[in-house]
Amino acid sequence: MEEVEEELHLTGTSKRSLPSWIKENIKMKECCFYVEGEREGICGCGYEKKNHTGEAIKPEAFMGGRWDKNRHVREVPTDAFGDITFGNRQKPAKYIRVSSETSPEILYELMTEHWKLKPPNLLISVTGGAKNFKMKAHLKKKFHRGLIKVAKTTGAWILTGGTHTGVMKHVGMAVRDYTHNSNSVEGQIVAIGMATWGVIHKRQDLINPEDNFPAHYNLEESGQDQLPCLDVNHSHFLLVDDGTHGRYGGEIDLRGRLEKLISEKPLENRDSRLKIPVVCVVLNGGPGTLETIYNSMMNSTPCVILKGSGRLADVIAELAGFPLSQVTLDLIHQVMKKFFGEDYESSFKEINGWANKIKYIIEKEQLRTVFSIDEDLDVAILKSFLKASQSSDSVDKQNREKQLELALAWNRVDIAESEIFKDESQWKSSDLHQTMFSALVDHKAEFVHLLLENGVSISQFLKDQDTLCELYSNMPDCLFKRKLTKPGDQLTLNRVSAEVRHLLGNFTHPLYSAETRTPRNDTCVTMTCKGHHQKSLEEFSLLNPNRDLFLWSVLQNKGELADIAWEECNDCIAAALAASKILKKLAMEGGDHWEEAESMRELATHYEKQAIGVFNECHSRDEQRAQELLTRVSTSWGGVTCLRLAWEADDKSFIAHSGVQALLTQIWCGELAVDNPHWKILLCMLFFPLIYTGFLAFRQDEAMRKEAEQNEKKQQGNYTVHDDTDGKPKPHNCASSQESLNHPLHPLNCWMRLKGLFTCPQVKFYGNIASYFGFLWLFAVVLMMDFQKYPSWRELLLYVWLISLVCEEVRQLFHNAGEFDIQRKAKMYIKDLWNILDVISILLFITGLACRLQNSETVFYVGKVILCIDFISFCLRLMAIFTISRTLGPKIIIVRRMMMDLFFFMFLLSIWVVAYGVATQGILIDNEERFKWIVRGAFYDPYLIIFGNLPDSIDNTQFSMDSCTVDATDPLKAKCPVLNEDNTPVFPEWLTIIMLCVYLLFANILLLNLLIAIFNYTFTEVQDNTDIIWKLQRNELIREYYSRPALPPPFILLSHLYILVKRVCLQNSPDKNSEFRQKLTPEKEKNLLSWESSMKENYLALQRQNRNQSVEHRIQDTAEKVGIISELLEQDHEYGSDGMAKRLAQLEEQVSQSNQALRWIMDTLKSQGYKSKQDTPLMSYELKGRVSDLKESDEQEPEEKTHHFNAC
């Protein structure tokens, strides 16, 4: 609460401080000396006499002096500032009246600090015709779209004159079109209008000395004949006051100084010397525009000229098409007469001076860019800077880097690709490292991709730890950054490694160990790594740059950057699964950051799909290699396998993949062949000598058979085999065949076959099932038939059996993979609900056994009761065997989830049960003191009502004195309700019946149907994912029985004894799970990862192909093509109509000339006496004259007929 009040206090303080800051720093101008000018009652400043203060009106002796703005104008605190609203416009604009002598530093501080404008990456100064002029529709559309695009993509400020006339009006229309089409407030275009205060129409509405209300300004275009209005589509206004009225150009000097100041400011968040670029965009224009262009080029500001916008812009555009040697003053005069027409001499009084300035503009080719209708305006604007930075002779390294920095600041990959990276040989990887760092920190994924395509090597970029430390130090605010940076802690890679290991799991090794990850120097500052040990390059080659960049991107939840880095990873499947695990763990620990956590879950799902896609491609090409990828120890990700990562990340879809399940099936069958029927395995378990007869197939036997077939084909001359997946031939001497030649297979001996049978996880499972059924049978016999005072041999055997179960649970507790302490192993053990049930069952058995061994008969019986309850617990544990079944396995999950639903539902139901039970008990019974009858009346009876057991005590018609006791003396009967003198209950029968009806309505109908709906939802949810859930359960079961000893309980004690002797006495290391985890040789691992990378490229190519063929992409592509065709048609229609009019005019002129020539020929022939046999043909004008005469005569004849008709 205190923080909220403090925030409100600070907000209020800032609001009150802005007007005071403006009063202290911003001034306006007013006339302080009234001097009557040429017109009566009008001062030399242009204002009327009544608009002056009393102090300004001097005695008559001073009235005849000449008015001078330098001496007769003074500065006073401004009286017009704040917000301005324009009718229906939703977001108000900011405005302020400033003196023409105001420092541009104060204006820049006002805009950035108080108006909260983000410093621009580009300043676009738009200048040109101040009067309304007609622009062709296609050019206008190009201008609007290009201006908004460059402002939006680069974060630019647009600076104009701010009035609703001429070029400023077109800029406002462009901003308006963008605002209407975009609903985002954050993406507002910053359009700043700098106008002269003395020429603004209705400026009195803006005067607001105290800033206590927004000014309302209505646009009146009809009133713009004398003074212009403000444009309603600009976002900010700087109204420059020079103390005069009706005189234009008062803002020109301050605007130039402001532009110069902004051009000297560094780009935001950049340490380089790169300044904010400024560009001048010219439309139409006259002498004032020419002066602006000339001054801009004198200050080395590039200018973009819009060809086709009229007048001066077209003059410069046409002259730019001539060779420089042909641009003479005479040519300039001719072109200016062509585009200015009759206004040429009146507009340009100093003709030679203006012509020389135009020639200077034409000579500055590197600062001049002519925009034609065939290209995009935004591209032309951005190219103008790159053009201006180039030398006429060569492009040096510094200029190229500056160009690249500008393109990065604007986030225009297209400009960088088309204009900067023309020649790849110009760039080295080291030249682009700083740009790469900036692109990564700014999260510009497209630029990162472009830099990688143009020679940036990630291994060189992250060759030492200092760069990686800087990347983590510049990480934006995110969940991982908040976990990583704690008060007083210094950011080191060891700290990062500890947090990453926590996210991945403590079963992994640290990614950055202290021994090999010490920084080489202490160049990192503040929150970076600092060290004092010098390390060699060989030690630092242990860093995996591609993995480090991918991990850095994933930890801050930047999907686009992570995708680019993932494509560069060699160990891509393990990287994707590790990202899924990290993101899910971060989302779980997200706390109140729900949106960020949900985004992380979506990204985790994306990388699970990426892992599935690459693995599917690998599995379709080579199943054996794909399985090696699953069990290969990944040194890049802490010595963990892909299979373990998927299991820890709970990536159900990946585990459910057919390739993963094929590996699990192979592990499940052990040394036995996969296609052995179950009945053969069970029969061999009962009579094992059958395995020596070939009755049961072994995997090595099948491998030897296949090898013999291949050798036979080889001897027959068939040196190629066909891949089953794509049907293409591949060399016979592949890696697997070469390996089989290096390690020839041998037949299994008798001992290996016997060992292979009983160490098979499937056989272990069957043996343990039979053993568990035997345990339950023995337990039931003891409880029902042989539970004596002194234990019998059956009971003693039961105890031994239980000891074997206890020893097995202890072995499972310490068998968990990883070098963890006992606390960590206990947490991993308890994660499995079946282990929790095992612990509960064992503890209950021990408790019952302790009570059973007591001499007291009461305690002895209590022990038996506890053991009977424990039998129920052991029977429930039997459900675990159904997880191997595809049909019954998911049903176990359904039952488990329904039990959780029922547990929470009971809280809701207990409210109604307790409410009804306590109320009914209080109404019926008076002061019941027996506890069991209180519990029965308040809880038990209301609970039975739900199942249809309606009570008789609430109805007087069914009351009987025999069913209760009056004084509660009979412990077997309930206490009677309060009775009348005639022994009838006095409670209100109508109330108890109504309470019962309401209780039945809510408990039986509402709540029970709610429970049914909850169960139905749970069942549907699990049933829809039956296959995935079953495969996940199957994975857990296979992992459990793979590590279990071969002998079932109680014979498993022998295996436990063997393990104890081996570990404690002989100090042997535990057996590694070779089927789940295998360490490959460096050469084999390199070949395997290279093959995985090629499969990844195939998968990415297939993804791109599917994306291009998708319906969405086709619709978008069609829409773009239709847009292009529409623009071309509009352009052809616009230019075609003009061209057609010109051609028709020329044709009419030629026909007229031909007609005159023919008349001359006829007159000549007549004068020489030549006559024609036919009459002279009528010309078009003669024919028109005769036709008109006939029409007049026709109009007169009906009048006469009408007159005669009426006369009759």
Q: Taking a C-beta distance cutoff of 8 angstroms, is the pair 808, 841 a contact?
A: no
For 16-41, the pLDDT digits (tens) are 477 888 888 899 888 887 777 677 77
Average pLDDT of the residues in 1055-1063: 85
Query: Is residue 367 classed as helix, strand or coil in its secondary structure?
Result: helix
Q: Mean pLDDT, the chain, as a whole number?
A: 79
Does the pLDDT at position 395 exceed 60? no
300 pLDDT band (50/70/90 cuts)?
confident
CA distances from 1134 to 145, 300, 1029, 1127, 1128 (A): 18, 36, 65, 10, 10
* pLDDT of the residue at 363: 86
Residue bearing the bigger pLDDT, 1202 or 1139: 1139
* pLDDT of the residue at 536: 34
The verdict on whether omega for the bond into residue 1050 sits within 30 degrees of 0, i.e. cis, is: yes
Q: Taking a C-beta distance cutoff of 8 angstroms, is the pair 522, 545 a contact?
A: no
Tell me how far apart the terminal alpha carbons of the chain are, to the nearest angstrom. 107
Which amino acid would we find at residue 1050? P
Give the sign of the dihedral formed by CA 1091, CA 1093, CA 1096, CA 1102: negative
820 pLDDT band (50/70/90 cuts)?
low
Which amino acid would we find at residue 53? T
* pLDDT of the residue at 1070: 58
Percent of the residues in the chain that have a pLDDT greater than 70, as a whole number = 82
332 pLDDT band (50/70/90 cuts)?
confident
Instruction: Compute the distance between CA of residue 94 and CA of residue 84 in angstroms, rounded to an integer.
Output: 6
Instruction: Compute the distance between CA of residue 403 and CA of residue 389 in angstroms, rounded to an integer.
Output: 7
* pLDDT of the residue at 594: 84
Q: Taking a C-beta distance cutoff of 8 angstroms, is the pair 626, 615 a contact?
A: yes
799 pLDDT band (50/70/90 cuts)?
very high
Q: Spell out the residues 6+ positions from residue 661 whose beta carbon is closer than 8 angstroms to its own.
A: 655, 1031, 1034
**For the stretch 296-324, what's the b/e string if a residue is b when 16 or more beta carbons lie within 10 angstroms of its beta carbon?**
bbeeebbbbbbbbbbbbbbbbbbbbeeee
- Tell me the two tokens of residue 726: 């794509």
* pLDDT of the residue at 1134: 56
Give Cα 41 to chain centroid, integer Å. 67
Query: Is residue 370 classed as helix, strand or coil in its secondary structure?
Result: strand
Does the pLDDT at position 561 exceed 90? yes
Instruction: Compute the distance between CA of residue 690 and CA of residue 671 in angstroms, rounded to an integer.
Output: 16
Please state which of the ranges 710-714, 870-874, 995-999 shows the lowest mean pLDDT: 710-714
Residue bearing the bigger pLDDT, 1010 or 1132: 1010
Instruction: Compute the distance between CA of residue 114 and CA of residue 93 in angstroms, rounded to an integer.
Output: 14
Does the pLDDT at position 1200 exceed 70? no
Does the pLDDT at position 145 exceed 50? yes
- Tell me the two tokens of residue 803: 């000891």
DSSP string, 100-149: TT--HHHHHHIIIIIS-PPPPS-EEEEEE-SS-----HHHHHHHHHHHHH
Does the pLDDT at position 1007 exceed 70? yes
For 449-508, the pLDDT digits (tens) are 998 888 888 888 888 788 888 888 888 888 888 888 766 567 788 888 888 988 988 888
Does the pLDDT at position 5 exceed 50? no
Instruction: Compute the distance between CA of residue 72 and CA of residue 34 in angstroms, rounded to an integer.
Output: 8
Instruction: Compute the distance between CA of residue 844 and CA of residue 865 in angstroms, rounded to an integer.
Output: 10
Residue bearing the bigger pLDDT, 1164 or 1100: 1100
431 pLDDT band (50/70/90 cuts)?
confident
Residue bearing the bigger pLDDT, 819 or 352: 352
At which residue do the structure tokens 């600009």 appear? 234
740 pLDDT band (50/70/90 cuts)?
very low
Instruction: Compute the distance between CA of residue 836 and CA of residue 840 in angstroms, rounded to an integer.
Output: 6
For 634-685, the pLDDT digits (tens) are 988 988 999 989 988 989 899 989 999 999 999 999 889 888 898 999 999 8
Highest mean pLDDT, choosing among 375-384, 734-743, 900-909: 900-909
DSSP string, 519-533: -SS----SSS-----
Nearest to 841 by CA among 879, 815, 898, 814: 879
> Residue 985 forms beta bridges with which residues?
979
Instruction: Compute the distance between CA of residue 1126 and CA of residue 1133 in angstroms, rounded to an integer.
Output: 10
- Tell me the two tokens of residue 762: 């499937």
Give the sign of the dihedral formed by CA 357, CA 358, CA 359, CA 360: positive
* pLDDT of the residue at 381: 81
Query: Is residue 190 classed as helix, strand or coil in its secondary structure?
Result: strand
Q: Taking a C-beta distance cutoff of 8 angstroms, is the pair 275, 119 a contact?
A: no
Query: Is residue 436 classed as helix, strand or coil in its secondary structure?
Result: helix
For 169-227, the pLDDT digits (tens) are 888 888 888 877 665 545 678 999 999 998 888 888 888 766 556 788 877 766 555 78
- Tell me the two tokens of residue 955: 């109805």
Average pLDDT of the residues in 591-608: 89
Highest mean pLDDT, choosing among 465-479, 924-938, 1031-1045, 1085-1099: 1085-1099
Average pLDDT of the residues in 304-324: 86
Does the pLDDT at position 807 exceed 50? yes
Helix intervals (H) in 726-832: 735-742, 750-758, 761-785, 793-815, 822-830
848 pLDDT band (50/70/90 cuts)?
very high
Nearest to 472 by CA among 554, 575, 538: 554
Highest mean pLDDT, choosing among 971-975, 1093-1097, 1187-1191: 1093-1097
Query: Is residue 772 classed as helix, strand or coil in its secondary structure?
Result: helix
Nearest to 1096 by CA among 513, 572, 356, 351: 572
What's the whole-model pTM score? 0.75
Residue bearing the bigger pLDDT, 1189 or 840: 840
Instruction: Compute the distance between CA of residue 315 and CA of residue 308 in angstroms, rounded to an integer.
Output: 10
